[in-house]
């Protein structure tokens, strides 16, 4: 098997989707802090400290993490295997031999549908779990599913 460094990035819209998805819980926390500030006006230094910690968390998870993930996330498909590289703090590289592919699925969550993205999950006969190719343009995801299905159908081995 020829080991390939995955070359294909997610969609250019991926960082936006990841940022919006990360921003939603932070918005809830900001609202809770505003209510807390309004109802309990004493100990202002605690409010300022909580606000500073929240702002750092927002910058890291809404700005830094999506951009870093976009720089790291890669995928590729060859006639022999599906290759992925994911993560931002902890990075993982997965190689799933085509001969082990059992199913290929597409998922589109609400944010994915809003931005025209999809995720492809390649389930293999492996205890390590499925290989996920995330944040692809919907058309690209459809082509990937068709390509994997065609390659797997040509294989002579059973994936069980």
List Cβ neighbours of 108 (8 Å cut-off, separation of 6 or more).
117, 118, 119, 138
Angle at 121 between CA 118 and CA 127, to 5 degrees: 160
List Cβ neighbours of 125 (8 Å cut-off, separation of 6 or more).
100, 102, 159, 160
The pTM score is: 0.87
Average pLDDT of adjacent 10-residue blocks, the chain of 160 residues: 80 98 97 90 86 97 96 94 91 91 95 98 88 97 94 64
* Six token digits for residue 46: 């605690």
d(Cα 84, Cα 76) in Å, to the nearest integer?
7
């Amino acid at each position: 098997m020829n080991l390939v460094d995955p070359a294909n990035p997610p969609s250019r819209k991926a960082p936006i989707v990841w940022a919006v998805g990360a921003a939603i819980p932070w918005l809830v926390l900001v609202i809770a802090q505003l209510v807390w500030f309004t109802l309990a006006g004493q100990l202002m230094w605690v409010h300022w400290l909580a606000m500073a910690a929240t702002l750092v968390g927002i910058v890291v998870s809404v700005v830094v993490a999506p951009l870093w993930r976009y720089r790291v996330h890669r995928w590729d498909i060859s006639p022999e295997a599906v290759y992925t590289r994911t993560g931002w703090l902890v990075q993982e590289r997965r190689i799933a031999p085509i001969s082990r592919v059992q199913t290929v699925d597409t998922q589109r969550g609400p944010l994915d549908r809003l931005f025209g993205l999809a995720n492809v999950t390649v389930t293999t006969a492996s205890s390590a779990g499925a290989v996920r190719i995330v944040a692809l343009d919907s058309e690209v995801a459809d082509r990937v599913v068709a390509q994997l299905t065609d390659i797997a159908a040509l294989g002579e081995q059973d994936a069980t």
